[in-house]
Amino acid sequence: MKKGLFTTVMVMVLAANTFAQTANLRYNIDLNDREDDTFKVTLEVDKLNEENNVYQFASTAPGTYQTMNLGRFVSDFKVFDKKGNEIETKNISINQWEISAPKKVKKITYEIAETWDTPVEEYPIYKMCGTSMEDDHVLMNAHCIFGFPSGLQDAPLSINLTYPENWEVGTALNKNESGAFYANSYDHAVDSPILLGRLTKATTDLNGSSIEIYTYSKTDLVSSEQLLSSMSNMLTAASEFMIDFPVDRYAFLYHFEDESWGAWEHSYSSEYVMKEQEYTGEFKQGVIDMAAHEFFHVVTPLNIHSELIEQFNFVTPTPSEHLWLYEGTTEWAAHMMQLRNGLISLDQYFAMLQKKLITDSYFDPEYSLSKLALTSFSKEGQQQYGNIYMRGAIVAGLLDIRLLELSEGKRGYREVIYELSKKYGPNKAFSEKDFFAEFVEFTYPEIGEFFDMYVKNANPLPIAEYYTKLGIIYTPEVKKGQLVVDLGGHLAVPDGKIRYVKIRPELEKMGLKVNDELIGINGEELSLSNANQLIGGLMQKEIDYEYEVNVRRGEEELTIPLKLLSKEKVSKFLFEIDKNASDKQKALREIWMKNM
């Protein structure tokens, strides 16, 4: 999962299959022409005014928390009048073309390269947020293909696609009466990825809502029917956890090929890019966990979001401080909904918390969730971003316990989230600046101190104190008295590249530096798809085993001899039931473990 990502909330809930509305902006792409891995785009317009004189490509997109600058991929940008005469344009910035006579414009054409196979020197685009064009499928994310004339971000638009007759199309968009996909705004189009090609499809009904799964699997190892069969219990659990399922239709779009990148959530769909493999074991459970996370985004931010999300700025990246709500809460809910509905055991839930705390320990302990959100578009913030799924989820779990305690077991975080979704909803944003205060007023005064301590600031989390309230013992560390192999450095993927984000002094003396990009081990090229295999194999060696890493440091590639270090075996972040828990603790734990 990414980063993955919340997306812009749509202004209008779509219920019908066909729309009578006509679009002011009509985009056309012939996907039978996939030459040069570029999308050949034609935009037809009825009328532009002077205020529409700049054609804007996206600098970023909702939920990606990264600078993209899609104008880098554009070529042969041209504008024409109704007689076919070319109108003069000027490329005034990386993402903007100025049109000299906007009132005369009838047609805009350009080509834009797919992002997967187009190398860039900086700001790599995560694959689940990008575009792919191959012989048997195409992945489309609107912000990577379409721009919009200034002032027309809210204008209705249509997307007319021509493609091979035997291709299946997966998207949450519906078609208008002319057969084109319809979006009520540019934000809506960006909120609705399209996967088409040699896909399998499976559908089910969830309490009156249509759930659709579309799957591209390179060698057919994974099918939509397999996914639906394994996800059915999770979908039911999610529906019960959400209390009222807020959408009438939802689409899962799966892309299984050569690399794992994660997922990107949207209001009425979610999109996944994962390495194709047999759909069993840990891989299968990982897919379910990821789907549970993305699925919960129909609650937040679809129904609970600030004005910064409702009116997304595609020109200048503007972060929201409430990433703790959009991603941290969602990651907590993805696991809690499974625990409360018996899909995972309490021991499995404890193991999940342990993994999150282990990963959290590698991030900067002084970096608060608020700071993480507000710096998310910066290089510094990107290095800490992954912790929103670790510390963010842990904090959400602690908030749940605190709310249950203060309400004497009558109202946990699940219930508060539901009440907030009814207070706001898809068409009413909360105040970015005032939401903390509004949340406190909506709940209890003590929650203000909680936000100050653990969201706005990065004080040590009161894990032992809070879980004791449930009759659960938390032990931060138990030393085992034996030595084990240690890689000596922590690897992360802050910017799409595998980097050393933390290293021991011994490795520094050998020549390694923090932020070095790891590109090879013992002469074998390293990638996201084989990293677990190569690094896992390394960890099976003996202490003092000598090996070489290939790293990229700036523009320079280096080969550095290293050796495996040792450390005392320690079991960290352990949770277990307190056999001597009081009746009060047991009662609160029983409430904590079920939907009220």
Could you tell me if 155 and 275 lie in one domain?
yes
Could you tell me if 68 and 183 lie in one domain?
yes
pLDDT value at residue 589: 98
pLDDT value at residue 79: 98
| Percent of all residues in the chain with a pLDDT value above 70, rounded to a whole number | 96
Residue 3 forms part of a structural domain: no
Average pLDDT (430-441) is 97
Contact residues for 460 (Cβ-Cβ < 8 A; gap 6+) = 365
pLDDT at 15 over 60: no
Contact residues for 423 (Cβ-Cβ < 8 A; gap 6+) = 442
Say which amino acid occupies 49.
N
pLDDT at 114 over 90: yes
pLDDT value at residue 21: 47
Locate 167 and state its tokens.
């291709």
What dihedral angle (degrees, nearest 10) is formed by the CA atoms of 73, 78, 79, 84?
Answer: -140
Confidence band, pLDDT 50/70/90 cuts, at residue 490? confident
pLDDT value at residue 439: 98
Average pLDDT (376-404) is 93
Residue 483 forms part of a structural domain: no
Q: Catalogue the long-range contacts made by 113-119 (C-beta closer than 8 Å, 24 or more residues apart).
A: 113/36, 113/37, 113/38, 113/39, 113/73, 113/75, 114/37, 114/38, 114/39, 114/144, 115/73, 115/144, 117/37, 118/37, 118/73
Could you tell me if 178 and 274 lie in one domain?
yes
Tens of pLDDT along 530-584?
A: 888 899 899 999 999 999 999 999 989 999 999 999 999 889 999 999 999 999 9
Distance separating alpha carbons of residues 424 and 305, to the nearest angstrom = 8
Could you tell me if 224 and 332 lie in one domain?
no
CB atoms within 10 A of CB 345: 11
Strands of the sheet containing 89-93, edge to edge, are 89-93, 96-99, 54-56, 148-149
Average pLDDT (121-141) is 95
pLDDT value at residue 23: 63
Confidence band, pLDDT 50/70/90 cuts, at residue 303? confident
Tens of pLDDT along 262-297?
A: 999 898 999 999 999 999 998 999 999 999 999 998
Tens of pLDDT along 215-269?
A: 999 999 999 999 999 999 999 999 999 988 788 999 999 999 998 899 998 989 9
pLDDT value at residue 7: 34
Residue 480 forms part of a structural domain: no
Locate 406 and state its tokens.
């203060």
Residue 8 forms part of a structural domain: no
Mean pLDDT, the chain, rounded, equals 92
pLDDT value at residue 480: 86
β partners of residue 341: none
Residue 307 forms part of a structural domain: no
Could you tell me if 151 and 229 lie in one domain?
yes
Average pLDDT (124-139) is 96
Say which CATH number the domain at 179 has.
2.60.40.3650
Residue 313 forms part of a structural domain: no
Tens of pLDDT along 342-369?
A: 999 999 999 999 999 998 998 899 999 9
Tens of pLDDT along 474-487?
A: 999 998 889 999 99
Cβ distance 369 to 455 under 8 Å?
yes
Distance separating alpha carbons of residues 553 and 268, to the nearest angstrom = 41
pLDDT at 524 over 60: yes
pTM for the structure as a whole: 0.82
Radius of gyration of the chain (CA): 25
Contact residues for 428 (Cβ-Cβ < 8 A; gap 6+) = none
Could you tell me if 463 and 496 lie in one domain?
no
Residue 481 forms part of a structural domain: no
Could you tell me if 524 and 444 lie in one domain?
no
Could you tell me if 452 and 538 lie in one domain?
no
Residue 309 forms part of a structural domain: no
Average pLDDT (405-411) is 97
Say which CATH number the domain at 528 has.
2.30.42.10
Could you tell me if 514 and 461 lie in one domain?
no
Q: Domain residues for 284?
A: 18-296
* Interior/surface letters 277-290, b for 16+ CB within 10 angstroms, e for the rest: eebeeebbeebbbb
Average pLDDT (504-529) is 93
Tens of pLDDT along 173-223?
A: 999 999 999 999 999 999 999 999 999 999 999 989 999 999 999 999 999
Could you tell me if 383 and 281 lie in one domain?
no
pLDDT at 9 over 60: no
Could you tell me if 46 and 148 lie in one domain?
yes
- Give the residue among 246, 254, 162 at the shortest CA–CA distance from 212: 254
pLDDT at 1 over 70: no
Contact residues for 425 (Cβ-Cβ < 8 A; gap 6+) = 303
pLDDT value at residue 492: 83
Q: Which of 240, 264, 296 lies at the terminal end of a domain, its last residue? A: 296
Q: Which of 296, 331, 350 lies at the terminal end of a domain, its last residue? A: 296
Could you tell me if 29 and 136 lie in one domain?
yes
Average pLDDT (129-157) is 97
| Percent of all residues in the chain with a pLDDT value above 90, rounded to a whole number | 80
pLDDT value at residue 528: 75
Count the domains in the chain. 3
Helix (H) / strand (E) containing 573: strand 565-577
